[in-house]
Amino acid sequence: MRPTILRRSAAGAFAAMLLPLPAAMTVQTVTLAPARAVTTVDAGGTTSVPFTVTTSDGRALTAPATVGTLTFPAGAASGTVRALTVRAPTGGPSLARPLPLDLRASGAVLTNKPAVIVNAHGLPYLDSRLPVGRRVEDLLRRMTLDDKIGQMTQAERGAMAPDPAQVASLRLGSVLSGGGSVPTPNTPAAWVEMVNLFQAYALSAPLQIPMIYGIDAVHGHGNVYGATVFPHNVGLGAGRDPGLVERVYRATAAEVRATGIPWDFAPCVCVSRDERWGRSYESFAEDPALVIRMETAIDGLQDGGVLATVKHYAGDGDTEYGTGNGDFTIDQGITVTSRADFARLDLAPYRAAIRKHDAGSVMPSFSSVDWTEDGVGNPTKMHASRELITGTLKHDLGFDGLVISDWEGIHQIPDPSAPAGSPLPTATQVRVGVNAGTDMFMEPNTAPRFEELLRAEVASGGVPMSRIDDAVRRILRTKFEIGLFAHPYASAANAGQVGSAAHRALAREAVAESQVLLKNSGRALPLRKSAKIYVAGRNADDIGNQAGGWTIDWQGRSGAAIPGTTILQAIRQVAPQVTYSVDGTAPTGGADVGVVVVGETPYAEGFGDVGGPVCGWCTPPQAEPKSLTLQPGDRAVVDRVCSAVRTCVVLLVSGRPQVVTDQLGEIDALVASWLPGSEGAGVADVLFGKRPFTGRLPVSWPATVDQVPINVGDPNYQPLFPYGWGLRTGGGGSALDVLRDAAQTRVISGHGGLTWASDLAEADRAQTSGDNLRAYRLLRKVISS
């Protein structure tokens, strides 16, 4: 038996070896991590450098851990944060400098060594009492060529996030978020934390020139989950309310600032002349006079503390179909025009934006211009046009702000000398782009290459130092004027502004004003709350489709993309008897009225072009071909519901007109709802008469696809609904409003004369330009015909 006992004892010992050691016998490893990579401190001041202690087993420290003079005693819980107090020496005027620290650790491993920077002090450019011009010149003379080139460079957050120290090493002047480029989690607090991290690295450089963060917030702060998403500009143009537009953009500024961002690449002041363009909804109107009236958007942003960017200079909405870049059919194409027409249509909004609204930055267009005066066939890329950027914009219009390129804008400048497949940008593209007059270059993922090439161009004389200094002066002046030197860091204290109740109420008001009632036979609208309502159509309960492009993602996304109220939800909040069938196949059940909500799925530049490429990474519904006519499924729902319900109302949720001429006869009421955004209750407000319909078309509504492009002022102007058309409910209004109502009623009755469409359109254009007498005469002409 003894051998057996021995064998069992040996087996037990072996098994015991396989068991985990008791906690007391586990070797605990400890790490110390700084909570901030960079901390700044004033000369003679003190600051705290926080560290977090973490144990490998998650238990309290079994022994003390120290870093420098800071000690975490035994028994301190894993995750404890303590701060090392650091005092900076005093001294005379100085650039920023790192403070030497003894951060030797014992009993723990220091994950990385934080930097403590003693702030620059005592230098003229830091003295807020001095004029901005003097501060700029003092700073400029202290800058190396690397400092200056860095200020001219903007990189994307995604390229910087893996190693944010690049912001300092590249001396970046700016960082941006492209569409859909967001921190994790996508919350206001995370945005502020991210922006401040990049800023901390920018301020670790000797001159401490703050970086400026930029973003596309084109209809509210659409990149941020939970933000208020306002109607796109085409809807705001339909509202024709400059005061409302200013308030909308002021609210946008509040939400953008609340996430730590001081620069918005908006508003688009393009004049959209062809609805086949995938960015047409970013335009306020097809007529420059109405675009100019809506430029109160600039005031809303800048009075709200956000630098505005008017874009895309110039002619991006006036390019010819078939000239688009790559697979795009019209986007980034060619504006074929005379200089006189270009000035009248495409330049006019920029003249007003600069001289009346003092816009702080301008973004050139991807598009090209081809002057008819010297023969068609030799277009020039806007990013390469010294004539238009330096000559017209900076010299003739007197623009003294900064010019920021579009996303890799100079990469499209032709360079015949570059072999196919050459890395971009090329030296030629950098040289031409800088010399044309752009000041800061959006090089999302190629910032190091851009800086290297520009440095070589300056050394070789290809780019003169005078051009570099002009660009940097403009950038520095802008940063001083917006207060970035005084307040470089963002605060999370205003995070509650994002998606606030007040902003959503404002968006609801904007939605209601944007709705355009195109047809209203038998006074189908407004609806009775007590009516039995049958709702159908894919856009009735899809807030992503309702919001459109530039929402969460660059191209937007179908489905439950954002918080808010869909049109269906809004209808149900008002009317208790609602049946919903997405495809209209459910029984109508004796409904009094059918409300069909159809239209488009989200898109943005390029992929929104009619006949353009399909977005391969977007949601499946967005893969449908882009068109100026309803998709077959939408047409079927309209036919199905309008044939089954006595009164049929159709809402078109789209970024541009949809040709519905052949179905108009079966529709009792037709509404252009545009892209209303997050607050679908604004649509319900006008449907049920809580607010009146007051919107008017900011673009001409074609009768056929073959008519496109069609614009106010065209010869033989015969759209289905002319520019300025919009039926009103509720009465009241100005004398011209009442007169327009009478003129439209006359047209609906089958009269108005052969030129009624152009007369109504020109009357609206005259009123927009302030010529009320001409508007009165044109409306009277329609009434009397």
For residue 317, which of 709, 624, 39 has the smallest C-alpha distance? Answer: 709
Active site residue 406: yes
User: Taking the mean position of all CA atoms in its chain, how far away is CA 770?
Assistant: 31
Cα separation values, 11 from 3, 14, 17, 19, 20, Å: 12, 5, 10, 13, 16
Which residues lie below 8 Å from residue 241, measured CB to CB, with a gap of 6+?
513
Q: What are phi and psi of 161, to 5 degrees?
A: -60, -40
315 in the Ramachandran plot: left (φ > 0), alpha (ψ -120 to 50) or beta? left
**Quick one: angle between helices 756-768 and 772-784, nearest 10?**
160
User: Taking the mean position of all CA atoms in its chain, how far away is CA 757?
Assistant: 35
Q: Produce one character per residue of 75-85: b if its CB has 16 or more CB atoms within 10 Å, e if not.
A: ebebebebebe
Strand ranges inside 19-101, DSSP E: 30-34, 38-41, 46-55, 65-67, 70-72, 81-87, 97-98
β-sheet bridge partners, residue 153: 441
Contact between residue 625 and residue 607 where contact means Cβ atoms under 8 Å apart: no
Q: Which amino acid, 58?
A: G
Active site residue 605: yes
The token pair that represents 667 in the structure block: 């529709």
Contact between residue 209 and residue 257 where contact means Cβ atoms under 8 Å apart: no
For the chain, the farthest-separated pair of C-alpha atoms sits apart, in whole angstroms, at 125
Terminal Cα distance for the chain, rounded: 124
For residue 220, which of 156, 266, 181, 170 has the smallest C-alpha distance? Answer: 266
Report the 10 Å Cβ neighbour count for 180: 18
**Quick one: angle between helices 735-748 and 756-768, nearest 10?**
170
For residue 554, which of 624, 636, 649, 622 has the smallest C-alpha distance? Answer: 622
* CA–CA distance, 716 with 722 (Å, rounded to integer): 12
> Which H or E run contains 364?
strand 361-364
Q: Which amino acid, 448?
A: P
For residue 230, which of 257, 258, 249, 254 has the smallest C-alpha distance? Answer: 249
Handedness of CA 476, 480, 485, 487 (dihedral sign): negative
Q: What are phi and psi of 86, to 5 degrees?
A: -125, 135
Catalytic residue among 255, 286, 318, 406: 406
* CA–CA distance, 671 with 518 (Å, rounded to integer): 6
The token pair that represents 31 in the structure block: 């790490």
For residue 53, which of 39, 40, 67 has the smallest C-alpha distance? Answer: 67
Contact between residue 65 and residue 32 where contact means Cβ atoms under 8 Å apart: yes
64 in the Ramachandran plot: left (φ > 0), alpha (ψ -120 to 50) or beta? beta
Catalytic residue among 605, 609, 759, 764: 605
When computed from its CA atoms, the radius of gyration of the chain, rounded to whole angstroms, is: 31
Which residues lie below 8 Å from residue 369, measured CB to CB, with a gap of 6+?
314, 315, 334, 335, 337, 342, 379, 380, 382, 385, 388
- Three-point CA angle 755, 760, 763, nearest 5°: 120
- The SS3 assignment for 164 reads coil
- The SS3 assignment for 358 reads coil
The token pair that represents 217 in the structure block: 């917030």
The token pair that represents 18 in the structure block: 């396989």
Q: Return the C-alpha torsion angle 638, 640, 641, 644, nearest 10.
A: 140
Q: Which amino acid, 757?
A: A
Catalytic residue set: 406, 605
